[in-house]
Amino acid sequence: MTKKLLEVVSKAIEIARWAPSSHNCQPWKVITLEGAGKQYDVLLDQPLKSNELLCCLALDKKRQLSALPSLQFEMYISCGLFLGLFWLAITQQKARCRFHWLCDAELNLSWLQVASEHESELLVAMVITAENHDLIRDNQVNTVESKLNQILELVSTRRTFRGLFEKKLFDHEMIENLLSRRWPKVLTGGEALVQFEQNGELIRNTTKLVAKYAALDFSSYRAWKETYRYIRFDQQADTEDGFYLQSLFGPMPKRKIKFYEYMLSPLVMQALRLVNVPHYMAKELSKLVEKSAQLLVIKINDEHLSKRNLVMMGARLMEVWLQAHHAGVAFHPLSVLLQHDEPREALQRLLQCHNERIVFVARVGYIKTPEDISPRRTVQSIHTAVYS
Ligand SMILES: Cc1cc2nc3c(=O)[nH]c(=O)nc-3n(C[C@H](O)[C@H](O)[C@H](O)COP(=O)(O)O)c2cc1C
């Protein structure tokens, strides 16, 4: 049974690894604890049965972004995006997933040891249970495989879209469809408020904020150095993370790629501050915002800002993002507005958030399917099996 459950987990990772993450850094790690016995019981409501496997989602400290304090939020959200897809793929395989939150909790020595051995921060433990003893009966195999393939097709074709969206506004029915809750609240939580903003004046004011503040990111040496590490200039080279230059600026000839590789390098960018290049880049980004029909905003009440709620919010975002992709809609996150206090607080004032923090903002709209590639880590690099 453990072997079968390990296969279930492996297939779930195959799907979840397509989750989006900041800079495509993919800061997640899945640890399965085979034969886990009493030492982990403290956090579990009952001892593990023979048809159960203990598995843990963790934030990989070696992979997390750290140039700005606000990136910590994005790491939890990214892990939540992964968790959403992981849960979806587990449940499609006739298995159940019981959550035991480890972040924000006091951990016993066994858990602390797992965290330190794997250089990671443990977020949530999951007890994966086979619904029936054979897990999937023979006559269900094809149905389950075909459902998993459909999900894989959907998640692996979703892309962040950084070009111009179609001008069309979402109607009421579309918004209801995108925001409908199909995933359980034990996964997606209830504290994050997700909303679409279509007010023209608000979009114009947000455009001004991007034009005014986005240069902060391009001109901060530390932040840009970290970002630059994730830009990939050669689509043929083997890579497992980061994003291609072409995903930012569209297709271009080789010599132009070489030119950008040099121009965008952190030291050159510092020099280019003298001739206002970061402001020019901010202005270009703001033009895209100006032409967007709607924004997606997610906020959480200050009182409920916790690691767990950020991870859950990530799962909720994944649910909405997937529904959007299914409906021909793409997202372009605008983290430049949230990574520094000044623009974030200005945006919060615009949106009349009194006791709430905006944790995610994106331009959103209809697109014609983009043909873009985005690298991913292998299942083996994400999954670590521990025998105890
Ligand atoms: C929390 C979060 C913040 C992000 N912020 C930005 C951003 O500010 N600008 C941007 O172009 N993409 C942003 N992205 C998109 C990622 O760069 C993208 O998901 C990643 O490169 C993988 O590409 P894909 O979404 O096309 O698979 C963000 C993604 C996440 C999850």
Question: Highest mean pLDDT: which of 22-36, 195-209, 211-225, 243-257?
Answer: 195-209
DSSP track, 186-239: HHH-SSEEEEEE--HHHHHHHHHHHHHHTHHHHH-HHHHHHHHHTEE--TTS--
The answer to whether the CB of 309 is under 6 A from ligand 1 is no
pLDDT of residue 172: 97
pLDDT value, residue 146: 92
Q: Which domains does the chain have, with CATH numbers?
A: 2-159+375-387 (3.40.109)
Ligand 1 midpoint to CA 5 (Å): 31
Query: Are β-strands 383-387 and 28-34 bridged in parallel, bridged antiparallel, or unpaired?
Result: parallel
Mutation test of ligand 1: which of 15, 22, 235 has the most ligand atoms closer than 8 Å to its C-beta?
22
Express each pLDDT in 8-37 by its tens digit: 999 999 999 999 999 999 999 999 998 766
With a cut of 70, say whether residue 134 has pLDDT above it: no
What are residue 174's phi and psi, to 5 degrees?
A: -65, -45
Let me know: does 53 contact 109? Beta carbons within 8 Å.
no
159 lines ligand 1 (CB under 6 A): yes
Q: Percent of the chain having pLDDT more than 90?
A: 77
CB atoms within 10 A of CB 34: 15
Region label for 136, one of left (φ > 0), alpha (ψ between -120 and 50) or beta (otherwise): beta
Give the distance (Å) from ligand 1 centre to CA of residue 218: 16
Mean pLDDT along residues 81-91: 98
Distance of CA 8 to the CA centre of its chain: 22
**8 A C-beta contact, residue 5 and residue 135:** yes
Cα-to-chain-centroid distance, residue 317: 8
Give the model confidence (pLDDT) of 327-363 as tens digits: 999 999 999 999 999 999 999 999 999 999 999 999 9
Q: Which atom of ligand 1 is nearest to the CA of 20?
A: 19
Cα 62 versus chain centre, distance: 17
Return the ligand 1 atom nearest residue 78 CA: 31
Ligand 1 contact, 177 CB (< 6 A): no
DSSP 369: P
Distance 287 CA to ligand 1 centre (A): 19
Selection from 384, 322, 89 nearest residue 314 by Cα: 322
294 CA to centre of ligand 1 in angstroms? 18
- The response to whether residue 26 sits with its C-beta less than 6 Å from ligand 1 reads no
* Binding site membership of 203 for ligand 1 (Cβ less than 6 Å): no
Collapsing DSSP to helix, strand or coil, 361 comes out as strand
Question: Is 158:321 a contact under the CB 8 Å cutoff?
Answer: yes
Q: Across 209-218, 264-273, 313-322, which has the greatest mean pLDDT?
A: 313-322
Split at pLDDT 50, 70, 90, the class of 138 is: low
How far, in Å, CA of 387 to CA of 375, rounded?
Answer: 30
Q: Which atom of ligand 1 is nearest to the CA of 334?
A: 8
* Mean pLDDT, rounded, of the chain: 92
Determine if ligand 1 sits within 6 Å of the CB of residue 285: no
Say which residue, 229 or 37, is predicted with more confidence.
229
Q: How far is CA 263 from CA 214, 231, 266, 272, 278, in A?
A: 18, 13, 8, 8, 11
Q: Does residue 285 surpass a pLDDT of 60? A: yes
Q: Given the DSSP bridges, would you call strands 231-232 and 243-244 parallel, antiparallel or unpaired?
A: parallel
Of 63 and 373, the structure prediction assigns the larger pLDDT to: 63
- Cα 283 to Cα 27, 168, 276: the distances in Å are 30, 23, 11
pLDDT for position 268: 92
